[in-house]
Structure 1
């Protein structure tokens, strides 16, 4: 048996494994460079992993997901309420992103406090109660 082909095989496999591990460890996803399909999926996956108990900041979220597709903000009684929408499911290929295609994230003083429909409801309560 010739040992040279076996060494070449294992050497090639080692190089392949090293490159794969390097990409997985050091390559950071960049939402700005993704196609819309990949970005929707990426946003949904990342937002699905967020837990309110992890105390995420607005800067952490925008660093990971990029800028929001839609945003609203209001300042009431010294508190800043910001509702950020990230598209997670495209419905119509019309080039316009609407709130029903997005998942909402509510930040109060730059801290994540609610996700999804609850975020929208809480934001509307803050706005309605603050303007009464």
Structure 2
């Protein structure tokens, strides 16, 4: 009879253990699903989280990839600052996304942003290079 009690006790412990393991596996799978498939909503972020998010996403962009302006807008949302100029059939547009705050004054300036330059809606430059290329392209067209 003691062996029956010991066997039942072992089965109960194994049952508790398997229930805990099942719960842990479900938790890990749900967490992974949220992290992998849930898109961050930039419109709902506070300014500090959005800066970090912008920096993280922009740092992943490669110029040798074909990054389209619509993809950037869909991922990062509306830019903080933007300038555009049409030169014949060529459209230059620079989008500024805030990635670091330098002064707590409530105003976003270009020096607090990372620039993305698009030529005919394709990404061609990032950062300081984007700003200087945009200035060179737009000032060369002026008389």
- Greater Rg by CA: 2
Query: Could you list the runs of 4 or more consecutive aligned residues of structure 1 that deviate by over 6 angstroms after TM superposition?
Result: none
Q: Which runs of 5 or more residues in structure 1 are unaligned?
A: none
SS at 1:54 equivalent: coil
For the pair 1:49 / 2:60, whether they are aligned, the reply is yes
Q: What is the alpha-carbon root mean square deviation over aligned residues?
A: 0.9
TM-score (norm 2): 0.89
Q: Which digits, 9 at most, give the CA deviation of each residue in 1:99-120, with x for residues without a partner?
A: 0000000001100000000111
Q: Which runs of 5 or more residues in structure 2 are unaligned?
A: 1-9
Whole-angstrom CA distance in 2 between matches of 1:104 and 1:35: 21
For the pair 1:113 / 2:90, whether they are aligned, the reply is no
User: Could you say which structure has the greater relative contact order, defined with CA pairs below 8 angstroms and 6 or more residues apart?
Assistant: 1
SS at 1:25 equivalent: helix
- The answer for the alignment partner of 2:93 in structure 1 is 82
Deviation of 1:29 after TM superposition, in Å, equals 1.1
- The answer for the alignment partner of 1:32 in structure 2 is 43
TM-score (norm 1): 0.96
Aligned residues: 132
Q: Which digits, 9 at most, give the CA deviation of each residue in 1:21-73, with x for residues without a partner?
A: 21122211111111111110010111111001111000010011001000000
